[in-house]
């Protein structure tokens, strides 16, 4: 994984445009479906403005997704987000990337990670389950809230 900076950001956007639906890779932006100019601009703003680091998930020099660790309201908590390009899914990259992100969270002294998804997204639910997260599903909306305790700090993290 490599931390996303201004230099890497255009390549991350390119990977997202070629391999995801916008709703999978960024918060909603009104407008017609697809990667409109507005959504491409908002993708950049999202990465620049969101607190906490975000990382490109790489195989060699190829960008196959991105993941982020965003500070949450509760002390010691952070929210995780992840997307992979369609062609990179189903190969275990998500579990490997989030294990690295969890190490980074520990190195930052985080004690709990949260994630939000939906029961209609079995890959995300499966991923969170595989990581050992506690899941709670809202029966009215299908929203799934996940919490993962990350325990004691370790001495290393991404890029160290």
Ligand X SMILES: CC(C)(COP(=O)(O)OP(=O)(O)OC[C@H]1O[C@@H](n2cnc3c(N)ncnc32)[C@H](O)[C@@H]1OP(=O)(O)O)[C@@H](O)C(=O)NCCC(=O)NCCS
Which residues contribute to the site for ligand X (CB under 6 A)? Answer: 24, 81-84, 89-90, 92-95, 115, 117, 121-124, 126-127, 130
Closest residue by beta carbon to ligand X: 126
Report the distance separating Cα 160 and Cα 144, nearest Å. 33
In the bound state with ligand X, the residue whose beta carbon lies nearer, of 7 and 141, is: 141
In the bound state with ligand X, the residue whose beta carbon lies nearer, of 87 and 160, is: 87
Residue that has been written with the tokens 């309201």 in this structure: 73
In the bound state with ligand X, the residue whose beta carbon lies nearer, of 55 and 83, is: 83
For 55-104, the DSSP string reads EEEEETTEEEEEEEEEE-SSTTEEEEEEEE-GGGTTSSHHHHHHHHHHHH
Q: What are phi and psi of 114, to 5 degrees?
A: -125, 155
Nearest-approach distance from CB 81 to ligand X, in angstroms: 6
Nearest-approach distance from CB 94 to ligand X, in angstroms: 3
In the bound state with ligand X, the residue whose beta carbon lies nearer, of 87 and 153, is: 87
Q: What are phi and psi of 62, to 5 degrees?
A: -85, 135
In the bound state with ligand X, the residue whose beta carbon lies nearer, of 86 and 156, is: 86
Q: How many C-beta atoms surround the C-beta of residue 107 within 10 A? A: 16
- Take residue 153 and report the two structure tokens written for it: 């700090």
Nearest-approach distance from CB 14 to ligand X, in angstroms: 16
Nearest-approach distance from CB 155 to ligand X, in angstroms: 27
Nearest-approach distance from CB 95 to ligand X, in angstroms: 5
């Amino acid at each position: 994984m490599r931390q996303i900076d201004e230099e890497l950001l255009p390549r991350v956007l390119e990977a997202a445009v070629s391999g995801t639906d916008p709703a999978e890779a960024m918060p909603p932006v009104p407008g017609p479906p697809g990667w409109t100019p507005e959504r491409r601009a908002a993708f950049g703003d999202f990465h620049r403005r969101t607190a906490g680091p975000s990382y490109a998930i790489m195989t060699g020099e190829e960008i196959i997704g991105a993941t982020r660790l965003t500070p949450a309201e509760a002390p010691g908590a952070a929210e995780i987000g992840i997307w992979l390009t369609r062609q990179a899914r189903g190969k275990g990259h998500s579990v490997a990337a989030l294990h690295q992100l969890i190490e980074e969270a520990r190195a930052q002294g985080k004690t709990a990670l949260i994630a939000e998804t939906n029961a209609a997204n079995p890959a995300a639910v499966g991923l969170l389950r595989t990581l050992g997260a506690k899941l709670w599903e809202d029966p009215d909306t299908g929203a799934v809230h996940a919490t993962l305790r990350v325990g004691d700090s370790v001495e290393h993290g991404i890029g160290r």
